[in-house]
Amino acid sequence: MKINNICCIGAGYVGGPTMAVIALKCPEIIVTVVDSNIEKINRWNSNNLDDLPVFEPGLSDVIAKTRNKNLFFSTEIENSIDNADMIFMAVNTPTKTYGEGKGYAADLTYVESCAKQIAEFSKSDKIVVEKSTLPVRTAERIKNVLNLNNKKVKFEVISNPEFLAEGTAINDLFKSDRVLVGGESTESGKIAVDKLVEIYQKWIPDNKILRTNVWSSELSKLVSNAMLAQRISSINSISALCEKTEANIEEVAKAVGMDSRIGSSFLKSSIGFGGSCFKKDILNLVYIARQYKLEEVAEYWENVVKINNYQTFRLGEKIVDLFKKSNDKTTITLLGWSFKKDTNDSRESATIYLTNQLLKYNFLINVYDPMVTKSRIIEDIKSQLESSGKKKNEIEKIISKVKIYKNGYTALTNSNLAVICTEWDEFKAFNWNKIFNSMKINSWVYDGRNILDRDKLEKIGFNTFFIGQ
């Protein structure tokens, strides 16, 4: 089988950028990204490249070179599946909110629905590629769904997990640390793996393409994310200790990171990790461990999430302790809503949880983020309040305390406290002298990312708090 047409189901943070780069590197292949969300597809097709649904540095340049040449975005799911030789599944796999595994296991509803669509619309043999982050042995489950719903077509299911970091996704795709391709050891399984490998070989060196069995591939993704998150929680736990002593977390992290056995990556203390993968994948790992009666393993990884939650909570408590006895209305400006810089993704952002914590008190909250929309911010707050059991009228009243601004300076005017929640470079470039003059007397800066110059801020006149210092 020659791969002439690729279909990707899911036009989100994984599917869109990944398919754009494949289209760029493989101009001979027609790549179609499909999604049932018409608004999202319309934005992918927008003439205004600043209006793409996914913000990634460098993405718009790739889209400009490939769209409507060999890269297409469509809601025509049936035809796209039927025409494809290879189908990527890049749909959401959130944590279950119901039934067995609630709060831990991955919800495979979208994955199974996707598999049923592939089975229904396929009239010829297909290679189906797992791109979503999935629990171990999901490929087997997908293949069962495919074969149950279409006995005339032969399907090969292979695992090709993404290792993209939002904010650097395009560079990660161009210069991957590794590409993992897991398949069955059968002859047809090996052929399917080879077909996908041939695509990546157009720009990825052979020594960075790893062939594994399906189960190793699926588990590797979960473990990779879990271990990265573990490093963040580890350094954040030490930041709390530093604040009780005369140690400085930045100095400690630098010293530890210079050990060649450890390295410096993911040793930056912050208000806590976020994003769609870290928490979800760890909880899934916890669930899998408990399924196999490995309670000690489960507890170990669950503590990574607990430390992360604790880090966000204790920062919130410091803010509450500082202002809860104030007689005046306290205005707190949160700078950054996305879970990290250079992305408009706010899923599981620590800022959401911090906001929910602060809204329990009589604080006024201002929010500014250069890329996350007002509607997204409001929706994030609403979802969090709903999950905590708040009723509609209560939610509207609480949200009335929140104002969202399109300009950081305006958001900070007449504020008591500025909280750096996301490490946007823009915040480092702010004129903090100007901001000091616009804020209320005795104003504070809480740097939840340790990106600002503390000495300069204090010379200006700010009271400051830096994590782990």
Catalytic residue positions, numbered:
277
- In this structure, what DSSP letter does residue 11 have? -
Task: For residue 326, count other CB atoms closer than 10 A to its CB.
Answer: 12
Task: For residue 175, count other CB atoms closer than 10 A to its CB.
Answer: 12
As a dihedral over the C-alpha atoms of residue 106, residue 225, residue 193, residue 208, rounded to 10 degrees, the angle is 170
Closest alpha carbon to 347 in 116, 145, 95, 160: 95
Pairwise CA distance, residues 408 & 303, whole Å: 35
Pairwise CA distance, residues 409 & 406, whole Å: 9
Judged by DSSP in three states, 171 sits in helix
Q: Which tokens belong to 344?
A: 């408009």
Pairwise CA distance, residues 211 & 194, whole Å: 9
Give the sign of the dihedral formed by CA 278, CA 283, CA 287, CA 290: positive
As a dihedral over the C-alpha atoms of residue 280, residue 93, residue 343, residue 423, rounded to 10 degrees, the angle is 0
Q: Which tokens belong to 273?
A: 């990790």
Closest alpha carbon to 369 in 414, 419, 413, 415: 419
Q: Which tokens belong to 97?
A: 């909110």
